[in-house]
């Protein structure tokens, strides 16, 4: 193996996409699950109203992205769509919720944003439900 080789190993990319999807999906679940619990508890919801729709709607949208879309990401189902919702959520977190904060407060959401951007661009990879659906679709075209 040469370090200056520019050829891409597609199998390796699919394996890396699987690992990254699993890691970032489970990592974001750790942020989304407490928000889901807050939503299910019912009481008075104090949450950042990022769209002007009220704190409860904002929390519901955030739970959808951080919890539901993370599960889709882990499964590799609707991966690009789920990644888009997660990207939007991280944009809001980085530039609106923490917009006036120092970089260290925005760093985590920007890192997540960059990973979701790669997933949206590259897709779920072969080892995903999306990959299985695509393989079946291609087989039926022949």
DSSP result, 46-95: ----SSSS-HHHHHHHHHIIIIIIHHHHHHTSSHHHHHHHHHHHHHHIII
> Is residue 69 in some structural domain?
yes
> Is residue 39 in some structural domain?
yes
pLDDT for 49: 86
> Is residue 9 in some structural domain?
no
Cα gap 106→93, rounded to integer Å: 7
Residue 113 reports pLDDT greater than 60: yes
pLDDT for 2: 67
**Confidence class for position 3, pLDDT limits 50, 70, 90:** confident
Torsion sign, CA atoms 127, 130, 133, 137: negative
Point out the least confidently predicted range of 18-32, 33-47, 122-136. 33-47
Q: What is the pLDDT of residues 115-136, one digit of tens each?
A: 999 999 999 999 999 999 999 9
When the pLDDT of each residue in the chain is averaged and rounded to a whole number, the result is: 93
The domain of 22 spans: 16-140
Q: What is the pLDDT of residues 75-107, one digit of tens each?
A: 999 999 999 999 999 999 999 999 899 999 999
> Is residue 2 in some structural domain?
no
> Is residue 37 in some structural domain?
yes
Residue 35 reports pLDDT greater than 60: yes
Average of pLDDT values for 108-117?
97
Indicate the number of domains in the chain: 1
pLDDT for 76: 97
């Amino acid at each position: 193996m040469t370090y200056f080789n520019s050829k891409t190993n597609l199998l390796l990319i699919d394996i890396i996409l699987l690992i990254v999807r699993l890691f970032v999906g489970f990592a974001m679940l750790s942020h989304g699950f407490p928000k889901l619990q807050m939503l299910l508890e019912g009481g008075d919801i104090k949450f950042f109203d990022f769209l002007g729709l009220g704190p409860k709607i904002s929390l519901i949208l955030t739970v959808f992205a951080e919890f539901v879309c993370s599960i889709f990401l882990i499964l590799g189902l609707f991966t690009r769509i789920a990644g888009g919702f997660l990207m939007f959520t991280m944009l809001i977190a980085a530039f609106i919720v923490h917009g006036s904060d120092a970089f260290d407060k925005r760093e985590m959401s920007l890192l997540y944003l960059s990973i979701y951007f790669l997933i949206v661009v590259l897709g779920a990879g072969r080892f995903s439900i999306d990959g299985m659906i695509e393989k079946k679709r291609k087989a039926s075209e022949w």
